[in-house]
Structure 1
């Protein structure tokens, strides 16, 4: 049995589609409301009965409200229809929609193309309509970024099938992609973004992109002399390096070596500040997905540059250096690489500790997060040597590091407060840190005091600290049973527990 509103919606749609209706706005508004109340299942069941040609015709003309209503109504209908049915019955209308002056119509049309190419039965219909795909390609050059992004998303979906890859990157459509690229620098980068997205899917996808010549063009710009172009291109190459096949390709082509050489030459380049942060971040990302020791041994210029940034006076470079040290030292292998730097690294730690107290707020938070990353040790890695190493690192941060972070954690700035709590959480399962905490007067009382956590983020950060302490195997022995039981009670009560306050009425009180 059909839903009660389906017949009414069908009747309204019939009136809207009538060529005799000169002012359709009232009916369109009513139809939009009726569709919102209609379950998707009912719409899907009756979908083919709804004549949409009139709506497409109204969307092609009229004022902005009429177009907006048509877009909203069509979106509701098309989303529940089978993609094969949509392309077979409304392919021509979709193609016209890509030429519409209103951006919302283009976005609706392109999003439907994206749906269609994801359907194995419908995708061939799209590939058999190259003119439709050609116009989607030209939408990459749209002035409105939302239209361009929707086009990139849909074309990425086209490339998820072997046939789509072939059509987009090995046929006539490649000529259109290159024509679009020639329109401006910004649009060229949009096409590179599309190509890198496709390349990241698989080794086969990367091969198609390489054979198209577009990857070579991107790498040529990356290693060229335009410093602003370098800064943009390195972000895209960094995305490609996130995949194993992407890293393999970049290494085989000598691209990683070239990036390392550019870092080496940056000292004599007065404009290196534009691109150097991105180049260092590139290696920082390699460290995350590859062996930190191998990366640092093969590209020593990267490590030296990171230390140079952390030792220098430029706040931007210092921030990048600190972030990268935090990434590099986030696992044991990276920690050991840093420890080999000896006194130079301990000097850098002291500077990071100093800046965590004195730098502008945003930079202080980055310092604290890097410290958390550097000091954290999983239980399985807590050997005597590694515990001794993190303890010595902690001592290098300041003359009284525990008091330094405690003073930061009591400041009335939630972001700083939480960042300092994260430092305590990072070291909470290490016996040397527990001994420092219990020896600091009032520290345990501060940890279990809920009144100093004014907001949700602070309550959750404090709870994570309590959980890390209470879960440690050495906490009962070091803190003593009384404090241990207080931590367990806090843990049991949860992060948002509020102690009930009883009130007693006093006779005569107002």
Structure 2
């Protein structure tokens, strides 16, 4: 096929021409001929045209694409071939990022309709790009009015009716738009789509609940989102569902997501207020952590790590006294004996719980982190050291992160100094096999060197060795001189 050979040759030739030169030589006839081939029935011609058009369109300014090729883009968005739809939606993605070009899209309802219909496409890449583009369009007042003020809202509803999967994609879009500002949230709320999402969250279908709680958690990441959820009584509803989970045999499906919701809420809001107002949350986290179910333990450990990532959260946990201390002992055992993935989550939670920025190091808080550390195991420093010498890079780095978390606390520095061979281990570069390990070790050395108490506690000799390590950088290799001996084999 001569035409196919020409297309292939053209593709190769175009790769050698810089975009600026392409732009100067390109005219509408070239593009019209190529788009004409896209509407033909020959699949080989179509697939040969796509990379050529991709190269040519990238050379054009986004505003020129939307002004001169609007109809072609529209046809491309509903093309039978995935590659053409991906090409077209990628161009839409470029257009919406350009403040001048995006206004052209707003005056083109047919094109917007096509973008909305792409959310229902089988190809997830096309749907994702459509969600991203619509989310970007909604960042302006005119965009919000276009999406929610006219017939496009019913197009959104029509596409939602296609399937459960597509409905969740639309909810994902709505949550993304709502997160931008209080005004965006108002538009979304007035459309009725957020209350539908919340209705599904509190409905009877346990699998739907599990999916919807992730989106509601995203909504709670912004202050205006949290305020809306509180005003609508959603947070109370989620708390009540956790309370009622005891009698629900299927609660394992959605409980992890509901507990994570409160964990995230506590961190961005106030751990103390959330835990006092919703005591069921803390109770459920402890229950899950004390259970025998690895899935529940994992979620509980993650949540404790999130909750204890700031001082207020640490103090909330400290108030539970002996219950939390005995829970730490279990977390220490899991870090040693559980399957790898759960061990890693335990190590990350321990790092988060024990870390205390130097400006927040009061005597009380230092006593608290020290008592937590000693609750983890009878010999906690040796426990993490043994994990750090195992041949699993993830666990090795996880253990190094625990040492880094406590490296700026005087009690931990004394423990390290008193542990035979520990400081030698820290400055030994030969034990770090890969880049991630070298980076993790370097962070530990940096945390030690930057501590105000290190020189006094470690003494000058060790302090200078650590400082030299820091100055040499994470990937330093000592030069080894070799002497050639005449006649040696």
Name the TM tier (shorter chain).
over 0.9
Aligned 1:64-463 pairs, distance under 5 A: 64-463=43-442
Residue aligned with 1:500, SS: coil
Bigger shift: 323-332 or 488-497?
488-497
Q: TM-score, normalised by structure 2?
A: 0.97
Deviation readout 1:266-322 (Å, 9 max, x if unpaired):
111111110011111111111231111111111111111111111111100000000
1:467 correspondence with 2:453: no
CA apart distance, 1:62: 4.4
| Separation in structure 1 between the aligned mates of residue 310 and residue 352 of structure 2, nearest angstrom | 8
- Counterpart of 2:14 in structure 1 is 35
Shift of 1:51: 2.8
Q: Indicate if the aligned counterparts of 1:87 and 1:125 stay in contact, CA closer than 8 A.
A: yes
Aligned equivalents of 1:490 and 1:97: distance in 2? 57
Deviations 1:11-70 (A, max 9, x none): xxxxxxxxxxx8421221222122211112222334446631000001122443321221
Aligned partners of 1:110, 1:363: CA distance in 2, in Å? 40
3-state DSSP of counterpart to 1:122? helix
| 1:329-384 deviation line (CA, Å, top 9, x unaligned) | 11111110110010000011000011100101111111111111111110101111
Judged with a 3 Å threshold, the aligned counterparts in structure 2 of structure 1 residues 50 and 498 are, in CA distance, closer, same or farther, namely: farther
Say what the alpha-carbon RMSD is for the aligned residues. 1.5
Q: Could you report, residue by residue, the CA deviation over 1:247-279 in whole angstroms, capped at 9, with x for unpaired residues?
A: 111111010111111111111111111001111
Q: Report the Cα offset of residue 507 of structure 1.
A: 3.9
DSSP 3-state at the match of 1:24: helix
- TM-score where L is the length of structure 1: 0.93
Q: Alpha-carbon deviation of 1:126?
A: 2.4
How many matched pairs?
489
Contact 2:54 / 2:87 at 8 angstroms: preserved in 1?
Answer: yes
Uncovered stretches (5+) of structure 2, i.e. residues with no partner: none
Secondary structure at 1:51's aligned position in 2? helix
Structure 1 residues not aligned, in runs of 5+ = 1-21
For the residue of structure 2 that corresponds to 1:495, the secondary structure is coil
Cα 1:499–1:146 shift into 2, 3 Å? same
CA distance in 2, matches of 1:290, 1:47: 55
Offset from partner CA, 1:120-156 (integer Å, 9 cap, x none):
4433432332222212211211111112112212222
Does residue 52 in structure 1 map to residue 28 in structure 2?
no
